[in-house]
Amino acid sequence: MKRLIVALRDCRITLLGFLLLCQLLISTACSRTIHGEFGFSPVDRRESEPLERTILLETEFRLGRENLYFYDYQTIWWIYRMESGPYSQGDFLVSLYEDSLTPEPVEVDMRHVDVERQHGVGIIRQRYEPLKPGDYIIRIAQHSHVVDQANFRILPSEDESNTIEEGDSADSGDEILRYSQRPGRI
């Protein structure tokens, strides 16, 4: 009988140790999330030839995700540099949402992306051709779980915004506004 009690006690200790080890391994594996940094490089390619636009690849990016503003004529190249976390090829989806005119963001683009490996770091590299003015969100998802996101705003080009403002004030019925915004009129 004493042998049975000692055997059960040893078994409980071994089982308890095994369960604690499993919990530690699972919590360590689950807590490893992807951490990374966005980088952006807006490019004006209005004067470029179509063939030149398709072969050129941006290599310099400004890292950050705060106060991002681009013009509606710029091609927006961006990267996501993964500094830590588990990932493998084919795990990622990138979605672009427009967040301007509706209560909830509207998906504009979604694509599967490849992860490049450079010096032991994973990099997602993509571009968006010129977008219309408004607020946008880029979301990166791994296995349908959003990992990270960045918000940015597309501004109308300066030529278009000046033309619109002048046209609006000229069409308005207020003569003071119409004549005050046109130089050389009294």
Kindly report the CATH number assigned to the domain that includes residue 130: 2.60.40.1930
Whether residue 102 is predicted with pLDDT greater than 60 in this model: the reply is yes
Confidence of residue 13 (pLDDT cuts 50, 70, 90): low
Question: Does any domain span residue 170?
Answer: no
Same domain, residue pair 44 and 97: yes
Q: What is the mean pLDDT of residues 76-105?
A: 86
Question: Does any domain span residue 177?
Answer: no
CB-count exposure of residue 111 (10 Å: 0-12, 13-18, 19+): exposed
Range of the domain at 151: 35-155
Higher pLDDT, 54 or 8: 54
Q: How far is CA 38 from CA 79, 81, 125, in A?
A: 6, 6, 10
Which tens digit of pLDDT belongs to each residue from 25-44? 444 444 457 889 999 999 98
Question: Does any domain span residue 160?
Answer: no
Write down the pTM of the prediction: 0.66
Same domain, residue pair 53 and 26: no
Q: Which of 28, 31, 30, 37 is nearest to 148 (CA)?
A: 37
Backbone angles phi, psi at 83, to 5 degrees: -90, -25
Any idea which residue has 């369960």 for tokens? Answer: 19
Domain count of the chain?
Answer: 2
Same domain, residue pair 39 and 99: yes
Same domain, residue pair 47 and 17: no
Yes or no: say if 10 and 2 are a contact pair by the CB < 8 Å rule: no
Same domain, residue pair 42 and 14: no
Confidence of residue 86 (pLDDT cuts 50, 70, 90): confident
Same domain, residue pair 9 and 59: no
Same domain, residue pair 26 and 102: no
Which tens digit of pLDDT belongs to each residue from 136-169? 999 999 988 999 999 999 999 876 555 545 555 4
Question: Does any domain span residue 26?
Answer: yes
